[in-house]
């Protein structure tokens, strides 16, 4: 439903008719077009491709890695027993996750699937992973992942959306997601199967096993499907592409050298005294002008008698193009949720400004990484662990019978690639000082970065014990030296060849 906004003293509102709808209604009629436009741009446009790729590169990096951290108090086991169980489980998970047999297709391992899923979730709005059980000769694990592109999740027989079913997402009366409908075919494939069908996959089994996961970015309560990342700036991206193509074409044409050959009317009539030959020549000349072949570099162009050649000053390359593109790319970067430096991978301001851009960017990365862990990595690990317990690969007493025990065994953290290092020497010195002069209590540090105090305290105690056993000096026994004066902000990374124009 459209609502007109009273302009009052603001005429800009007079013709504005915003649409009011619920979270799903906003995407019901535009989602297919948004996906198509997003994929086309990320496939053919360098700016769109860079924007989507940056997310997958930084959020996933080389892959989010499991670190088991069981709740030993809930399990009633000692720290040594917990450490042994964690190490054994991590070894088993590493064996599965680094092998391509962790996927149904058998061509990508778990960490490669993370990158594919991250890119697809941003490019299409969401992505799904079916957690199947597949027997393979000589392979102890049955859990296998099958990534499902967003288009394959749809209503059965392409039926209409209802209050409980929207674009393949089936909900209960209270709004809880019950199941997901997945087609055995892609709706836009050139090779449709003869037996097209849909399968309803329950989110959970009775034993508590997760069957399918959906990775999406939610902005509104009740939102069933995700929106492609480039959607908000699709028009801007398309216009940037047209502008840059026009500037490049103009610059190329201005550099083209063409020789003009012109005949006098008398010579033209003498050469083509036959009307049919004259008409044929003129037709070919007009066609050559229309397809642009007449302007190829080094070519010779014939003109008609009486025509004069005007060569306007092209003014190319356009000196106003770089600042204009810089301004537009800044708007585009905001639409992607990143700074322009991150988007184009070029840092020409001060070192402090470049470092601030990365600090700000990684706050966004960490938030999105939490979504990747909650929506993708952790549910897959819990399903893998469930299957391993059922098959006797991993011993976890009480796992299948008690939800509290299961949660205690599944407790874990996921570690990804760290922040990009702008100045390796400076970062190395800072890391050395942090290791040598530890003055922050574990509880204070946990409040700062959101870590768990008990886990951090046990880790520090274990590290201190290991240092004593290896005759190494304890940490935190020396006073922290005074911080050096901050670097001169007037310096530019261009002065440092290792920093200037770096690519992430």
Give the per-residue pLDDT at 298.
54
pLDDT(74) > 90 = yes
pLDDT(143) > 90 = yes
Query: Which band of pLDDT confidence, cut at 50, 70 and 90, is reported for residue 309?
Result: low
Query: Which band of pLDDT confidence, cut at 50, 70 and 90, is reported for residue 497?
Result: very low
Distance of alpha carbon 398 from alpha carbon 71, whole angstroms:
14
Residue 121 maps to a domain: yes
Residue 448 maps to a domain: no
Q: What average pLDDT does this structure show over 424-442?
A: 62
Distance of alpha carbon 410 from alpha carbon 205, whole angstroms:
17
Query: Which band of pLDDT confidence, cut at 50, 70 and 90, is reported for residue 290?
Result: low
pLDDT(504) > 50 = no
Q: Is there a single domain that holds both residue 200 and residue 123?
A: yes
Q: Give the list of residues 6+ apart from residue 24 with CB closer than 8 angstroms, or none.
A: 161, 166, 167, 222, 223, 224, 225
Q: Which of 206-220, 245-259, 442-456 has the lowest mean pLDDT?
A: 442-456
| Greater model confidence, 139 or 27 | 139
Q: Which of 235, 266, 284 is the last residue of a domain?
A: 235
Q: Which of 178, 200, 235 is the last residue of a domain?
A: 235
Query: For residues 147 and 117, is the Cβ–Cβ distance under 8 A?
Result: yes
Say whether 41 sits in a helix, a strand or coil: helix
Residue 295 maps to a domain: yes
pLDDT(246) > 50 = yes
Residue with token string 């009480």: 398
How many domains, the chain? 2
Residue range of the domain that includes 280: 256-303
Q: Is there a single domain that holds both residue 226 and residue 269?
A: no
Query: Which band of pLDDT confidence, cut at 50, 70 and 90, is reported for residue 495?
Result: very low
Q: Is there a single domain that holds both residue 24 and residue 121?
A: yes
Q: What average pLDDT does this structure show over 243-257?
A: 78
Residue 446 maps to a domain: no
Q: Is there a single domain that holds both residue 184 and residue 52?
A: yes
Q: Is there a single domain that holds both residue 292 and residue 230?
A: no
Percentage of the chain modeled with pLDDT above 70: 75
Q: Is there a single domain that holds both residue 287 and residue 191?
A: no
Model confidence pLDDT, tens digit, residues 375-405: 999 999 999 999 999 999 999 999 999 999 9
In this structure, are strands 198-202 and 212-216 parallel, antiparallel, or unpaired?
A: unpaired
Q: CA 179, 182, 187, 192 torsion: positive or negative?
A: negative
Residue 428 maps to a domain: no
Query: For residues 101 and 140, is the Cβ–Cβ distance under 8 A?
Result: no
Residue 274 maps to a domain: yes
Q: Is there a single domain that holds both residue 136 and residue 219?
A: yes
Give the per-residue pLDDT at 305.
66
Query: For residues 350 and 493, is the Cβ–Cβ distance under 8 A?
Result: yes
Give the per-residue pLDDT at 492.
43
Q: Is there a single domain that holds both residue 229 and residue 262?
A: no
Give the per-residue pLDDT at 455.
64
Q: Which of 207-221, 257-271, 296-310, 333-347 has the lowest mean pLDDT?
A: 296-310
Give the per-residue pLDDT at 420.
67
Q: What is the pTM of this model?
A: 0.77
Q: Is there a single domain that holds both residue 189 and residue 282?
A: no
pLDDT(294) > 60 = no
Q: Is there a single domain that holds both residue 125 and residue 164?
A: yes
Q: Is there a single domain that holds both residue 274 and residue 203?
A: no
| Greater model confidence, 92 or 483 | 92
pLDDT(499) > 50 = no
Q: What average pLDDT does this structure show over 361-380?
A: 93
pLDDT(155) > 70 = yes
Give the per-residue pLDDT at 303.
65
Mean pLDDT value across the chain: 81
Give the per-residue pLDDT at 193.
86
pLDDT(365) > 50 = yes
Q: Give the list of residues 6+ apart from residue 111 with CB closer than 8 angstroms, or none.
A: 60, 62, 63, 64, 97, 98
Residue 263 maps to a domain: yes
Model confidence pLDDT, tens digit, residues 467-476: 777 777 666 5
Residue 422 maps to a domain: no
| Greater model confidence, 13 or 417 | 417
Our measurement of the distance from residue 346's CA atom to the centroid of its chain's CA atoms, rounded to an integer in Å, reads 19
Residue with token string 């810089």: 326
Q: What average pLDDT does this structure show over 205-216?
A: 94
DSSP 62-102: T--EEEE---HHHHT--HHHHHHHHHHHHHHHHHHHTSGGG
**Mean pLDDT comparison of 218-222, 356-360, 477-481, highest-scoring range:** 218-222
Q: Is there a single domain that holds both residue 279 and residue 192?
A: no
**Mean pLDDT comparison of 93-102, 266-275, 335-344, 359-368, highest-scoring range:** 93-102
Model confidence pLDDT, tens digit, residues 179-203: 999 999 999 998 888 889 999 999 9
Say if residue 238 is preceded by a cis peptide, omega within 30 of 0: no
Model confidence pLDDT, tens digit, residues 107-140: 999 999 999 999 999 999 999 999 999 999 999 9
């Amino acid at each position: 439903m459209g609502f007109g906004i009273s302009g009052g003293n603001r005429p800009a509102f007079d013709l504005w008719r915003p649409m009011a709808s619920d979270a799903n209604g906003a995407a019901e009629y535009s989602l297919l077009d948004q996906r198509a436009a997003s994929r086309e741009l990320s496939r053919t446009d360098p700016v769109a491709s860079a924007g989507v790729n940056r997310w997958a590169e930084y959020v996933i990096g080389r892959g989010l890695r499991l670190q088991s951290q069981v709740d030993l108090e809930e399990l009633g086991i000692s720290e040594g027993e917990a450490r042994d169980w964690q190490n054994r489980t991590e070894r088993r998970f590493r064996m599965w996750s680094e092998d391509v047999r962790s996927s149904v297709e058998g061509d990508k391992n778990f960490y490669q699937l993370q990158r594919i899923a991250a890119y697809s979730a941003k490019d299409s709005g969401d992505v799904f992973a079916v957690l199947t059980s597949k027997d393979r000769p000589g392979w102890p694990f049955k859990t296998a992942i099958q990534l499902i592109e967003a288009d394959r999740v749809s209503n059965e027989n392409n039926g209409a959306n209802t209050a409980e079913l929207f674009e393949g997402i089936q909900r209960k009366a209270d709004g809880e997601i019950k199941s997901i409908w997945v087609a055995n075919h892609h709706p836009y494939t050139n090779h449709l199967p003869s037996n097209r069908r849909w399968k309803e996959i329950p989110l959970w089994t009775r034993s508590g096993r997760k069957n399918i996961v959906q990775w999406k970015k939610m902005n509104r309560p009740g939102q069933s499907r995700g929106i492609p990342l480039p959607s908000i700036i699709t028009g801007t991206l398309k216009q940037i592409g047209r502008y840059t193509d026009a500037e490049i074409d103009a610059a190329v044409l201005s550099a083209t050298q063409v020789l003009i050959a012109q005949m006098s009317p008398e010579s033209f009539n003498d050469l083509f005294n036959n009307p049919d030959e004259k008409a044929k020549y003129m037709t070919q000349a007009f066609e050559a002008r229309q397809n642009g072949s007449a302007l190829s570099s080094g070519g010779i162009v014939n003109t008609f008698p009486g025509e004069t050649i005007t060569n306007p000053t092209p003014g190319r390359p356009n000196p106003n193009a770089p600042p204009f593109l810089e301004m537009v790319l800044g708007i585009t970067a905001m639409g992607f949720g990143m700074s322009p430096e991150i988007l184009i991978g070029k840092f020409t301001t001060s070192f402090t400004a470049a470092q601030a851009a990365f600090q700000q960017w990684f706050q966004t990365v960490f938030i999105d990484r939490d979504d990747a862990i909650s929506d993708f990595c952790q549910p897959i690990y819990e399903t893998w662990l469930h299957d391993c317990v059922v098959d006797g690969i991993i011993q976890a007493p009480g796992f299948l019978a008690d939800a509290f025990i299961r949660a205690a065994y599944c407790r874990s953290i996921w570690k990804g690639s760290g922040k990009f290092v702008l100045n390796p020497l400076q970062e190395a010195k800072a890391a050395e000082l942090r290791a040598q002069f530890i003055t922050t209590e574990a509880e204070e540090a946990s409040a700062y970065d959101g870590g768990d105090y008990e886990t951090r305290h046990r880790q520090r105690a274990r590290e201190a014990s290991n240092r004593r056993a290896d005759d190494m000096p304890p940490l935190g026994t020396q006073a922290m030296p005074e911080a050096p004066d901050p670097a001169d902000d007037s310096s530019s990374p261009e002065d440092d060849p290792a920093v200037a124009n770096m690519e992430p």
